[in-house]
Structure 1
Amino acid sequence: MTPSNDLREAVLRLADFYARLQPQDLDRLDHFYTPDARFKDPFNEVRGLPAIRRIFEHMFASLHQPHFVVTSQLVDGDQAFLVWEFRFRMRRFDTTTEQVVRGGSHLRLAADGRVLDHRDYWDAAEELYEKLPVLGALMRWLRRQASR
């Protein structure tokens, strides 16, 4: 097997890990991330497994039934891009409606296939803020004003 095939298989395993992720799986983060991996999204920028674990723990504590649906993936050398939908229900506000945040993750991989750098891209205003009761109305008004 060539190194690029190994990395493709590593990305497939990683996508499957995200799709099935449950709180007990956080004990296996070291199988998927290097000890000093970096993670960045619209709300966080951290380095190291303990900090990355805290982000996932917060996700499980704050949301009901959070899960990822990876809809496509691209692998080029030691980099990958996953396109995903993050599905969940709020624990507060509207607790019955499933919410969907669409985004993507740019990953840089170590030779062993573990993630060195993970950067999530998604529009916090459109995908999250507009769904919140009071803030959503303000965000929709601002969007209308900006488009005039």
Structure 2
Amino acid sequence: MSFLKTITISTVVLSSLITLSACRHIPSYSTDYSNAEQKMTGITLDDAQALAIGNRFVSTFHSLGTAEFIHKADQLYADQLYINDTLSQFSDKKTLLQHFEGMNKRVTHVTVKLISATHHQDSAYIHWSMAYDFKMLGRTKSMKSYGISEIKVNPQNQIIFQQDFWDPANGLFRALPVFGGAYGWILPFKKSN
């Protein structure tokens, strides 16, 4: 078989696989978010409570990558909850903690800072920055991202609702070894001067 024919066949097969994988149904989080946001009612907040939630949240995630993180996260979250961190969605603490255990093995040197905390009724809006070293495919990459988490707590001050708003494309995907180059090629970041 000629080189040109091999390339053509490979291109057709690769294009078909990409097309088929793009057709896979991935549910939108919007409906789940809307339902959980209406169904899960937290305590009504004031400025001091919103700031306290932000400080506790940041303090917990500042310990990510250490042995104490799982214990602190266990105290931070209620047993039944809604959490969407933009990459994953959870409805119970047990599964969330298993996810955190996996994260804990891949990150080191985590620094989380509280930028601001505000509130509306029962939702605290926590604006944060996070820097960390991420291990993948035998390499470690330093990363940094910014985000806002909408958080509701129960009377025991445990998180029952959390929706993270951050940009995983620039905060994670583009920086990953191997994958980042492909991601940047498919969806290049553009910046005007």
Cα gap change, 1:145/1:80 in structure 2, threshold over 3 Å: closer, same or farther? closer
Q: Distance in 2 between matches of 1:75 and 1:117?
A: 14
* TM superposition shift of 1:98: 2.5
Whether contact under 8 Å (2:45, 2:123) holds in the other structure is: no
* Residue 14 (structure 1) aligned with residue 57 (structure 2): yes
* TM superposition shift of 1:9: 5.7
Q: In structure 1, list runs of 5 or more residues that go unmatched.
A: none
Q: Distance in 2 between matches of 1:55 and 1:42?
A: 14
Where does residue 141 of structure 1 map in the other structure? Answer: 185
Where does residue 106 of structure 2 map in the other structure? Answer: 62
More strand by share: 1
Whether contact under 8 Å (1:101, 1:127) holds in the other structure is: yes
Cα gap change, 1:16/1:146 in structure 2, threshold over 3 Å: closer, same or farther? closer
* Residue 84 (structure 1) aligned with residue 128 (structure 2): yes
> What does 1:39-54 align with in structure 2 at a 5 Å threshold?
39-54=83-98
Whether contact under 8 Å (1:7, 1:113) holds in the other structure is: no
Whether contact under 8 Å (1:10, 1:114) holds in the other structure is: no
Q: Distance in 2 between matches of 1:98 and 1:138?
A: 19
What is the aligned length?
Answer: 145
Whether contact under 8 Å (2:60, 2:72) holds in the other structure is: no
Per-residue CA deviations over 1:38-88 (Å, capped at 9, x if unaligned) read 211222111122112122211111122334222221122211111112221
1:23 partner letter? A
Q: Distance in 2 between matches of 1:129 and 1:28?
A: 27
| Superposition TM-score, scaled by structure 1 size | 0.77
Q: In structure 2, list runs of 5 or more residues that go unmatched.
A: 1-43
